[in-house]
Structure 1
Amino acid sequence: MRIQGNKLYIGESPVLVVDLKTQKNYIHYENEDIPFKKEVRFSPDLLHGKRSNVLNTALNYYYQTACEIAEETRIARQYGKRANRTVVVK
């Protein structure tokens, strides 16, 4: 996890980007940004290193959710590329 300005970056690939100010969060994965519509809130004491076990639990939960969304999006896109898109007009 790293903090730059109002943004919190969690993970390596995918990267969950949490905008602490606007809550316009997204998952950066394979050169694409996927919306992360869950609200992510961290109290200032957590971000300053207090109660690290609580912070780690929250980070793991949000990051696991982001990984699942990224994987599901990847699978759906692969399926869409293989799907038969032929339209039969009668």
Structure 2
Amino acid sequence: MDLDPASVDRVPYRSSRPATIRRREQIGDRIRSLRRGRNLTQRALGEIVGIDERSIGGIENGRTSITIDAALDIADALRVPVIWLFSDDWEMPDDDATS
């Protein structure tokens, strides 16, 4: 049976695995640290990337899974390579290193 993709409800995937939840929280912590280091509010970052403030808060708190598009846009807005959001060897970058 073939399904018409337009007829399938799209439900965002969000894992309940503890390891995945921890990773989501780590990514959110990195975004929060970078955002604060750039003296941006959640609202200001959201306006830059086109995401509402509540969604930014959800991403930072690990309640919301970040999409690839959002990760790319947030990394651009925070002036860091997107891999820094996901890397285990993450350190807060100097402004000089990311300019």
Tell me the TM-score normalized by structure 1.
0.32
More strand by share: 1
Higher-Rg structure is 1
More helix by share: 2
